């Protein structure tokens, strides 16, 4: 039971407005879950609350990662504990090269006194970049600084591949990607699928889920998960939109 990412009764506010209103979600290790939902339903808020973004105040609930409450940890501790978020709008870090950023992040995961092997590091990074179709010039460029939307999204996936998290949340990684880039990114994610890792793929459109086929699809509306189903639920949503889900709720309420 404990090898899950388990979100229980999560409430969170921004500037005194409640956005997450008692959200429950359970992602067992080894599974890929998708969250779909209309804009403004709180999908990015959920991902940022899990990552520890300072704008959001958690007023109730817990997020247990393999039994450990993420909400008790500092932002960097969450990352070292194995949580990763690929942002919908990735941050730019002017003045810090991509290579140095990744190296520092990996170094921070080593026991005190241990040094990262620079040769092995570059070898691994180049392999992953090749797999993602990223030009090597991106190693020396400042993190996301002046990157196009699609380049930023690939860079987020590069970070994920290097950090090898236990649980990864991808927030609308598909937006800004053309179909070829989408396939490359999806392939990167699919290669990382493993019994030891869980994914939460947040997307507004069904298209990404053609390439990253989820085990479970959840619908989010007004700060809660309101419906869950198999991968065919994504197709149903694509066809019928989101309104029928909320209408169905109104009928059963």
User: Least distance in Å: CB of 200 to ligand ADP?
Assistant: 13
Measured from the CB atom, is 19 or 170 closer to ligand ADP? 19
User: Least distance in Å: CB of 217 to Mg ion?
Assistant: 17
User: Least distance in Å: CB of 39 to ligand ADP?
Assistant: 4
User: Least distance in Å: CB of 45 to ligand ADP?
Assistant: 3
Binding site for ligand ADP (CB under 6 A): 14-15, 19, 37, 39-45, 55
| Tokens describing residue 146 | 């002046």
User: Least distance in Å: CB of 9 to ligand ADP?
Assistant: 18
Q: Which does 93 bind (CB under 5 to 8 A by kind): Mg ion, ligand ADP, none?
A: none
Read off the DSSP letter of residue 111.
P
Determine the residue with CB nearest Mg ion.
44
Q: With contact defined as beta carbons under 8 Å apart, do 12 and 19 qualify?
A: yes
Contact flags string 49-88 toward Mg ion, x per CB under 5 A: ---------------------------------------x
Measured from the CB atom, is 36 or 186 closer to ligand ADP? 36
Read off the DSSP letter of residue 87.
-
Task: Decide: is 44 part of the binding site for Mg ion (CB under 5 A).
Answer: yes
- In the structure, how many helices (H) and strands (E) does the chain have? 9, 12
Q: Which does 206 bind (CB under 5 to 8 A by kind): Mg ion, ligand ADP, none?
A: none
Measured from the CB atom, is 20 or 212 closer to ligand ADP? 20
Measured from the CB atom, is 48 or 128 closer to ligand ADP? 48
Measured from the CB atom, is 129 or 234 closer to Mg ion? 234
CA distance 122 to 16: 45
Task: Decide: is 41 part of the binding site for Mg ion (CB under 5 A).
Answer: no
Listed in sequence order, the residues at least 6 apart from 52 whose beta carbon sits closer than 8 Å to its beta carbon are 70, 71, 73, 74, 75, 78
Task: Decide: is 159 part of the binding site for Mg ion (CB under 5 A).
Answer: no
DSSP string for 159-224: HHHHH--SEEEEESTTTT--HHHHHHHHHHHHHH--TT-EEEEE-SSSTHHHHS--SEEEEEETTE
CA distance 83 to 102: 15
Residue found by looking up tokens 């999806």 in the block: 186
CA distance 31 to 198: 5
Q: Which does 4 bind (CB under 5 to 8 A by kind): Mg ion, ligand ADP, none?
A: none
Q: Which does 14 bind (CB under 5 to 8 A by kind): ligand ADP, Mg ion, none?
A: ligand ADP
* 42 C-beta neighbours (distance < 10 Å), count: 23
* 252 C-beta neighbours (distance < 10 Å), count: 6
Binding site for Mg ion (CB under 5 A): 43-44, 88
């Amino acid at each position: 039971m404990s090898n899950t990412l388990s979100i229980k009764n999560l409430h969170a506010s921004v500037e005194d407005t409640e956005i997450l209103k008692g959200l429950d979600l359970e992602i067992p290790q080894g599974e890929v879950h998708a969250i779909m939902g209309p804009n403004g339903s709180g999908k990015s808020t959920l991902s940022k609350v899990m990552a520890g973004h300072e704008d959001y105040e958690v007023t109730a609930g817990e997020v247990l990662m393999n039994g450990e409450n993420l909400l008790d940890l500092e932002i960097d501790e969450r990352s070292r504990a194995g949580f990763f978020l690929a942002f919908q709008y990735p941050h730019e870090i002017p003045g810090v090269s991509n290579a140095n950023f990744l190296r520092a992040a990996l170094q921070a995961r080593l026991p005190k006194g241990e040094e990262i092997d620079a040769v092995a590091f570059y070898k691994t990074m180049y392999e992953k970049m090749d797999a993602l179709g990223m030009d090597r010039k991106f190693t020396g460029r400042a993190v996301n600084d002046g990157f196009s939307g699609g380049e930023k999204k690939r860079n987020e996936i590069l970070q994920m591949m290097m950090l090898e998290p236990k649980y990864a949340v991808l927030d609308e990684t598909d937006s800004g990607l053309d179909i070829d880039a989408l396939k490359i990114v999806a392939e990167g994610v699919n290669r990382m699928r493993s019994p030891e890792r869980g994914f939460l793929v947040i997307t507004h459109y069904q298209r990404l889920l053609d390439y990253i086929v989820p085990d479970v699809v959840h619908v989010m509306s007004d700060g809660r998960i309101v419906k869950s189903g198999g991968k065919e639920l994504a197709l149903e949503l694509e066809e019928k939109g989101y309104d029928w889900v909320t209408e169905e709720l109104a009928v059963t309420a």
